[in-house]
Amino acid sequence: MRYTVIENTDVRVSRISFGTGSLHHLFSGKRRRYLLETAAAAGISHFDTSPYYGYGLAESDIGAFMRGRRGRFTVTTKVGLYPYRGGVRSATGVWVRKAAGKFFRRISAPEMDWCIRRASNSLHASLKRLKTDYVDFLFLHEPDIALINGEEFLRWLEAERSKGKVRYFGLAGLPELLEPWLRSGHPLAQVLQTKDDLCQHCADFIIRTGRSLQFTYGYLSCLTLNSTPVSANVVISEALLRNSKGSVLVSTRNPKHLEEIAKLTW
């Protein structure tokens, strides 16, 4: 595995990061832990999560996985999107809520809240689930610039950084949400995690400013858009070339596939 230092930070991460948005699809806790261990054994050192992923279960799984070896890994979590009425503690709870959400969408859909108090409480809860005193990155999750008091969030994040709870902060979301922040030169846009692809190059809004891509995801969507069959490994290889200085997020529930992807950075 190759590693890189993310632009505008001193944080060293693996060129392939593991995204935990679908980790809860593995019903067995043993299988989820095995997948995380497979990622670590393959050299992946950065894990991306959120209190909304698995309604908090993903953070709890990462916390159990990192226990006793926190210094070997870096982790991102987020604020802004939250599970309805708090998190759950088991995969059973996730699936019960998702089943109920088919009839009452509000139960499974994320709650968006840009209140500082909610963000502060969420960060505290995330640290507890992650069993750590700090996160390496804290991102605003799908941040609409029209709905957020950016200066208030900046003051809060700077305060959390001064307490040692957050090393760096930034924004995570779709290009159309992040571009206004970057165009305005807002300090919250110092680290960006966004969707990209090899078809439309939708993260070019970052490159056009002279900045490098930092964290990117979404490349495998090209497989469904491309009429010519292309393997996932070829797509990720090209993604690593496109995002040559940052880290490409992947999410899979197949340990063997994860090992194959990690080998692409050798």
- For the chain, the domain total comes to 1
What's the Rg (C-alpha) of the chain?
A: 18
Does residue 200 lie in a domain region?
yes
**Residue 261 pLDDT more than 90?**
yes
**141-173-15-200 Cα dihedral, nearest 10 degrees:** 170
Residue 105 has a pLDDT of 78
**Residue 235: partners with Cβ closer than 8 Å, 6 or more residues away:** 198, 219, 220, 222, 223
CATH code: domain of residue 85: 3.20.20.100
pLDDT digits (tens, 9 = 90+) for 132-173: 999 999 999 999 999 999 999 999 999 999 999 999 999 999
Does residue 232 lie in a domain region?
no
Both structure tokens of 151? 């200066």
Residue indicated by tokens 């809240």:
113
**Residue 100: partners with Cβ closer than 8 Å, 6 or more residues away:** 107, 108
**Residue 225 pLDDT more than 70?**
no
CB neighbours of residue 9 within 10 Å: 16
Does residue 147 lie in a domain region?
yes
Phi/psi of residue 259, each to 5°?
-65, -40
DSSP state of 72: G
How sure is the predictor about 229, in pLDDT bands with cuts at 50, 70 and 90? Answer: low
Percent of all residues in the chain with a pLDDT value above 70, rounded to a whole number: 97
Does residue 233 lie in a domain region?
no
**Residue 227: partners with Cβ closer than 8 Å, 6 or more residues away:** none
pLDDT digits (tens, 9 = 90+) for 81-134: 999 878 877 888 887 887 888 787 778 788 999 999 999 999 999 999 999 999
**Residue 258: partners with Cβ closer than 8 Å, 6 or more residues away:** 18, 35, 38, 39, 42, 44, 250, 252
Domain that holds residue 40: 3-227+242-263
Does residue 151 lie in a domain region?
yes
Both structure tokens of 120? 């502060």
What pTM did the predictor assign? Answer: 0.95
Both structure tokens of 148? 């957020």
Write the DSSP string, 153-184. HHHHHHHHHHTTSEEEEEEEE-HHHHHHHHHH
How sure is the predictor about 215, in pLDDT bands with cuts at 50, 70 and 90? Answer: very high
- Averaged pLDDT of the chain: 94
Does residue 235 lie in a domain region?
no
